[in-house]
């Protein structure tokens, strides 16, 4: 297993020192060092260093804790893994801060790309993205969080049991592709908080089950199949949503969209929030 320091040494000295010297200095065999150089995209000359793949903390998802669970949830909802080594994530321009925070969390040297233009339902929008190579991270995401390639239609829930880990993963899942907001009902002139989830049926079942366990109550809201789409949705509404957000806050769980939600509701008359 390569440490970040060893990878940086290889990158900084590739083309300057021989592979034999580099291997000796990092305590690796010639074959192992050569293989790592190929993974990092290093070529056979100093000029090749301009084409290297950026490095990161490859072991970030090796240990399960509330922050790694949070970022695994983000990737489960809106990330992509490919070819057993590539990882990418993109967010619309209003959520570009989420991409920046991910880069910092995993100590990645890759820059944030954007703004770029994409089209969805006939409309253009700007987005920002990050992509890098880490076979170790891809392996850990699969083993610890059930995140695999082409997961959109096949994603299975992670095997987590600790309260903080479950909260972290669900919060990340919301930030990746969920929503937190409020409805205004004219009938009683009240705002009602809601949290929306969508994804595979097994994921929605897992999220609902753990929400009931965390809130210690039965949630009447059902899981629905979204028409014309091969995915499902589940929502927390009103007091249930408020209690869940309070759990995130009380347990110091990362939540980008909850931060934005509180910023928005701070300008609303609290007496009108139910």
The pLDDT of residue 174 is 96
Architecture of domain 179-272: Roll (3.10)
The pLDDT of residue 187 is 81
Q: In whole angstroms, what is the distance from residue 191 CA to residue 264 CA?
A: 12
Q: Is the peptide bond before 231 cis (omega within 30 degrees of 0)?
A: no
The pLDDT of residue 272 is 37
CATH of 66-151, one of 1.10.1840.10, 3.10.28.10, 3.40.50.300, 3.40.50.920: 3.10.28.10
Reference 268, options 184, 187, 194, 196; nearest CA is 184
Per DSSP, the three-state class of 232 is strand
What region does 146 belong to: left with phi over 0, alpha with psi -120 to 50, or beta? left
Q: In whole angstroms, what is the distance from residue 159 CA to residue 80 CA?
A: 20
**Residues in Cβ contact with 271 at an 8 Å cutoff, skipping those fewer than 6 apart:** none
Q: In whole angstroms, what is the distance from residue 256 CA to residue 215 CA?
A: 21
The pLDDT of residue 271 is 39
Beta bridge partners of 192: 183
Fold match flag (66-151 vs 179-272): yes
The pLDDT of residue 53 is 60
pLDDT beneath 70: ranges in the chain: 41, 43-53, 264-274
Q: Which phi and psi (to 5°) does residue 149 adopt?
A: -70, 150
pTM of the model: 0.79
Q: In whole angstroms, what is the distance from residue 165 CA to residue 261 CA?
A: 22
Question: Which residue has tokens 């939540």?
Answer: 255
The pLDDT of residue 33 is 85
> Which value, in Å, is the radius of gyration of the alpha carbons in the chain?
22
Domain ranges of the chain: 4-51, 66-151, 179-272
Q: In whole angstroms, what is the distance from residue 6 CA to residue 27 CA?
A: 9
The pLDDT of residue 273 is 38
Given a contact cutoff of 8 angstroms between Cβ atoms, the answer to whether 239 and 224 are in contact is no
The pLDDT of residue 15 is 73
The pLDDT of residue 44 is 54
């Amino acid at each position: 297993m390569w440490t970040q320091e060893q990878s940086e040494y290889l990158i900084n000295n590739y083309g300057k020192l021989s592979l034999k010297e580099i291997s000796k200095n990092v305590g690796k065999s010639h074959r192992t060092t050569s293989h790592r150089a190929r993974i990092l995209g290093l070529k056979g000359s100093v000029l090749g260093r301009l084409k290297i793949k950026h490095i990161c903390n490859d072991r970030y998802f090796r240990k399960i804790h509330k922050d790694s669970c949070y970022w695994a949830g983000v990737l489960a909802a809106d990330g992509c893994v490919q070819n057993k080594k590539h990882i990418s994530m993109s967010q619309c321009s209003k959520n570009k801060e989420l991409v920046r925070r991910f880069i910092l969390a995993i100590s990645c040297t890759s820059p944030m790309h954007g703004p770029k233009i994409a089209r969805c339902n006939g409309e253009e929008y700007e987005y920002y993205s990050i992509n890098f190579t880490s076979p170790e991270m891809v392996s850990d995401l699969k083993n610890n969080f059930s995140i695999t390639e082409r997961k959109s239609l096949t994603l299975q829930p992670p095997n987590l049991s600790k309260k903080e880990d479950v909260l972290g993963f669900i919060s990340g899942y919301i930030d990746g592709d969920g929503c937190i907001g409020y409805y205004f009902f004219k009938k009683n002139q009240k705002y009602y908080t809601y949290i929306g989830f969508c994804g595979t049926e097994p994921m929605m079942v897992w999220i609902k089950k753990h929400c009931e366990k965390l809130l210690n109550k039965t949630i009447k809201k059902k899981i629905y199949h979204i028409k014309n789409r091969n995915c499902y949705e589940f929502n927390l509404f009103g007091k249930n949503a408020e209690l869940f957000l309070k759990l995130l806050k009380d347990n110091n769980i990362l939540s980008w969209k909850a931060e934005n939600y509180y910023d928005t509701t701070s300008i609303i008359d609290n007496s009108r929030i139910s």
